[in-house]
Amino acid sequence: PKSGMNGNGPSKLVDPLEDPLPGVGTYEDFNTIDWVREKSKDRDRHREITNKSRQSTVALLHSVSDAFSGWLLMLLVGLMSGALAGGIDIAAHWLTDMKGGVCLIGFWFNHEHCCWKSNEATFQDRDRCPQWQSWAELITGTSEGAFAYIVNYLMYIFWALLFSFLAVTLVRAFAPYACGSGIPEIKTILSGFIIRGYLGKWTLIIKTITLVLAVSSGLSLGKEGPLVHVACCCANILCHLFTKYRKNEAKRREVLSAAAAVGVSVAFGAPIGGVLFSLEEVSYYFPLKTLWRSFFAALVAAFTLRSINPFGNSRLVLFYVEFHAPWHLVELAPFVLLGIFGGLWGALFIRANIAWCRRRKTTRLGHYPVIEVLVVAALTALLAYPNSYTRMSGAELISELFNDCSLLDSSQLCGYKQVSVGNSLADRPAGAGLYTALWQLALALVFKMMITVITFGMKVPSGLFIPSMAVGAIAGRLLGVGMEQLAYYNHDSFIFKGWCSPGADCITPGLYAMVGAAACLGGVTRMTVSLVVIMFELTGGLEYIVPLMAATMTSKWVADAFGREGIYEAHIRLNGYPFLEPKEEFEHSSLTVDVMRPKRSDPALAVLTQEGMTVGQVEALVESTHYSGFPVVVSQESQRLVGFVLRRDLLISIDNARKRQEGVVSASQVVFTEHAPSVAADAPPPLRLRGIMDLSPFTVTDHTPMDITVDIFRKLGLRQCLVTHNGLKQNTVKPLNYIHQNFPLPLCLKSAPSTKPPPAPPRPTSHTRSSRLSGCYMCVCDEKRTTLVC
C-alpha cells in the first residue's frame, strides 16, 4: 500500500491492515473502476516481479512468463475467436440453406457442399444438382408450379419462425445479456464500467448459438457486430487463466480492446481495419502496446478463420471485390450524393430506431419480447420471400451488388443487351433482366429500410453492419446502373466527353454499391477511418480509397448535422449507461464552482475526520448517506484534506475488524493517521484504517474550468475528483457551502449491489444538464476543505 513507504522512525506502528483484506480494492457490479488505482496496482505488481527476478532462477522464469503472458493470451483469443467465427459461419450457412431445402446425401450438408459432394454439378452450375431438393420437391415431388411455390414459401416462413423462436427463447432463458449487438455495452465496459456476466461463459455460449439461429431466420440483421461481443467474451474468459489479467480491471480492458479488433477482423477479414475500429469506435484507453497486440490477435484470428475456410474459397475477406476500371473525377459527384444519402439514412435510422426502442421500453410492447420477435420474423419472411434480393441473406446480397459484371455472369443484375464485340467489359445498354432486377432492388431497398428499424434492438443477437451496408449497396447499385446507362446514351454530352468514349468500360456499378454501403454504414455508426480501411482491405486497391473517403466524409458531416450521436452512443444513452464520450467537446464555459454549487436545502457535507470519530459514528455516517466515498479531513474545525476513503472499503474493513480484531466495538476510535493517538487507558483499542485511505486523491480548484475538469476525468480515467476551494480571503466573499446532490451521477447514488442494469439517470438540474459527466464521481471541498457529496 502506498501509505507504508515513508517510514519516519520507530514511532510508526505496524498497521494491521497492511495486507489488503479480500474485497478491499475490488468493485461492485454496475460501478465504475478507478483507472489510476488499477494501473498503479499493476505497476506495483510488475515492480515486485522485476525485483524478485534478480534473486532466483525460478523468479526470473516467472518474470519472463509474466512478460509473455500478454502475447500468449492474445494468441489464444485470436485462435478461439477465429474458430468460433468459422463455426458460426458454417452453421449459419447450413441453417440458411435449410430454409430452402435439404440435402439427400446427408442433411448436415449445405447447398453448395451438397452439390460439391455429388460430383454431378458442372463448374458453372455449382448450385444445381439432384441431391439437393427444395422442400416442395421433397414433399410434392415437383419443383414447378404454384403449389410447389406455396409449399416452399410456407416452409421458408416455418423455418424462419422456428429459428427466431428458438433464438429469443434461449436468450431469455439462459443469458439475457446475449441480445443485441453488444457494442454499446462493450464501449461502456471499456470505458471502465463493470457489468458482471456480460462477458461471461453463458453469454458466450448462448450468443454463439442464438446468433446462428437469428441470422438463419432471415431477420434483417447481421452477425458482424455480435462477433465483436463473442470475441470479447472469449477474451474475458481467457483472462481468467492469467492472474495478471484476472485481477486487474484496467489490464483486462486492454485485452478487451484487442478483442474488439479481433471481432471485426474475423467479421470482415480485415485485421488492420479491425484494429482501427477498436481504436476509433470502441476503445477508451488504447496504449500503443495494445495497438501492437491487437494487431497480432487480429491477424491470428483472420488466419485461423481462413484455415477453417468457411466460405470455401480460401479468401480472407468477406466480400472479395476486384474492379477492372478506374474511376473518373466527375464521378465524385454521384459518390458525394451517395454520401448525402448515407448521412440522411443514418440520421433517420438512428431517430426512428431510438424512438421505437424507447416505445418498447416504456409501453406494454416490451413485455412480450417473444411475440415481438415472432411477429417481426413472420413479417420479414412473408415480405422477403417473393423478392429474390430480400430472400437471399444480407451478405450474399451485398456480395452480388458489389460484383462487377463480367461477360459470363448469369446474374439478373448483369442482364445487359449484348452489343458488338470490342472491349469485353464495355458499358452496355440495359436489357429486360436488368430492368426487372432494378425494380426488385428498389422494392428491396424500401423493405430493408423499414424492417431494419424495428429489428435492431429486439431480444435476439442482432448486428447492424450488414443491414446498413445492404441498404447502401442497393442504393449505390441503382445509382451506378443509372449512371452507366446515362453515360451509354450520352457519350457526347459535356459531362462524359473526354473520358467515357463508346465501347469503354467507364462506369463500374459495383463500385457505386460499395461506396453506398460505406456511406450508409458511416451514417449509422459514424465510423470514418476504420470504415475506409476495412473497405480498402476488401478491394486491396488504394485507387478506390478516394471515392470511399469522399462518401464517408460527406455521410458523417450530413449525419452529424442532424445529431452528433452514432447509433451506439444513442443506445448507450437510451440504456442509461454511464459513459463519458471521449470524442465530444465540452461546450459550456462554466467553472467547476458553478457546477458544484450546492442548493440551500442540501444537507451538510459528509466527511470523516482523521481521528476522533468512533466506529459507531462512522457507521452512522455511512448509513445515513449513499455516497460511494468520503473525504478524510484533519478535523471538523480545520477541514484540510487528508485523503479519500471508498464506502465499500470502509464497510468491509469495519466488518472485518468487528469479527476478527479483538476489542473493536462501536466506541472504538477510528484512526486514519500514521501514528496512533494517545488514548485513555480504559478506552478500547483504536481501529487503524490508514491502509484503505487513498493518500493522493485528485483535486482541482473550484476555479478550474469545467472543460478542463472533464478532460482530466477522461484522460486519466478518474472515478472521483475532489474540488477544493482555498486562497480567497474569507471575508471578501461570502462563504461557499458547496453541495450538490443532484449532480447527474446515477452511480454515485447507488449503495447496494444489484443484478439489473441501473435505471436511467435522473434528470440533472438545469445548470448541469449539459455536463454529461454521468458515471463519474465528483466531490467538493469548500473553503475550509469540507467535503461533499460522493
Q: Of residues 718-737, which lie at the interface with a copy of itself (CB under 8 A)? A: 726-729, 732-733
Alpha-helical regions (H) of 490-544: 509-525, 529-539
CB of 410 to a copy of itself, least distance (A): 30
| Member of 16, 176, 433, 705 binding a copy of itself (CB under 8 A) | 705
Which residues, numbered 523-542, are part of the site for a copy of itself (CB under 8 A)? Answer: 528-529, 532-533, 536-537, 540-542
Q: Binding pattern to a copy of itself, positions 613-642, x when CB under 8 A?
A: -------------------xxx-----xxx
- Under the criterion CB under 8 A, does residue 770 sit at the interface with a copy of itself? no
How many residues are recorded in the chain? 790
Closest residue by Cα to residue 777 from 702, 713, 685, 705: 713
47 binds a copy of itself (CB under 8 A): yes
- What's the half-sphere exposure (Cβ side, CA atoms, 13 Å) at 264? 31
Kindly state the smallest distance separating residue 303's Cβ from a copy of itself, in Å. 7
Contact 216, 163 (CB under 8 A): yes
Residue from 545, 574, 621, 651 in contact with a copy of itself (CB under 8 A): 545
A 10 A CB-CB count for 406 gives 11
Alpha helices in 217-364 (DSSP H): 224-239, 243-246, 249-268, 271-277, 288-308, 332-362
Q: What amino acid occupies position 254?
A: E
Q: Is the distance from CB of 301 to CB of 231 less than 8 angstroms?
A: yes
655-684 residues in contact with a copy of itself (CB under 8 A) are 673-675
Stretch that binds a copy of itself, among 255-263, 270-278, 449-457, 768-776 (CB under 8 A): 270-278
x/- letters, 306..345, toward a copy of itself (CB under 8 A): ----------x-----------------------------
Q: Which is nearer to a copy of itself, 611 or 649 (CB)?
A: 611
Please identify, using beta-carbon distances, which residue of 41 and 459 lies nearer to a copy of itself.
Answer: 41
Among 141, 585, 755, 763, binds a copy of itself (CB under 8 A): 585
For position 260 contacting a copy of itself by CB under 8 A, the verdict is no
Segment 1 to 40, residues that bind a copy of itself, using CB under 8 A: 2-3, 5-6, 8, 36, 39-40
Shortest distance, position 11 Cβ to a copy of itself, whole Å:
8
Shortest approach of a copy of itself to residue 650 CB, angstroms?
18
CB of 782 to a copy of itself, least distance (A): 13
Footprint on residues 346-375 left by a copy of itself (CB under 8 A): none
Q: State CA 563 to chain mean position distance.
A: 20
- Record the cell numbers describing residue 670, joined without a space: 477510528
599 binds a copy of itself (CB under 8 A): no
CA atoms within 13 A on the CB side of 166: 18
CA distance 43 to 288: 17
Hey, what's the cell of 139? 414433399
Of 37 and 252, the one with the shorter C-beta distance to a copy of itself is 37
Rule CB under 8 A: say whether 424 interacts with a copy of itself: no
Residue that the C-alpha cell 474485497 belongs to: 23
Q: How far is CA 35 from CA 190, 354, 717, in A?
A: 11, 31, 5
Cα(184)–Cα(70) distance, integer angstroms: 26
- Find the binder of a copy of itself among 56, 666, 696, 754 (CB under 8 A): 696
Report the residue number, 128 or 703, with the smaller CB distance to a copy of itself: 703
| Residues in CB range of 168: below 8 A, 6 or more apart | 210, 369, 370, 373, 374, 458, 459, 460
Residue choice 64, 708, 735, 759 for contact with a copy of itself (CB under 8 A): 708
Nearer to a copy of itself, 196 or 703 (CB): 703
C-beta separation of 155 from 127 below 8 A: no
Q: What's the min distance (Å) between Cβ of 720 and a copy of itself?
A: 14
Q: Which of residues 551-580 bind a copy of itself (CB under 8 A)?
A: 553
Pick 62 or 491: Cβ nearer a copy of itself: 62
CB of 670 to a copy of itself, least distance (A): 16
> Rule CB under 8 A: which of 471-530 touch a copy of itself?
528-529
What is the widest separation between alpha-carbon atoms in the chain? 112
Query: How far is residue 142's CA from residue 134's CA, in Å, rounded to a whole number?
Result: 9
Which positions ≥6 away from 729 have C-beta within 8 Å?
Answer: none
Pair type for strands 608-609 and 629-633:
parallel
Q: E strand or H helix at 145, and its extent?
A: helix 145-174
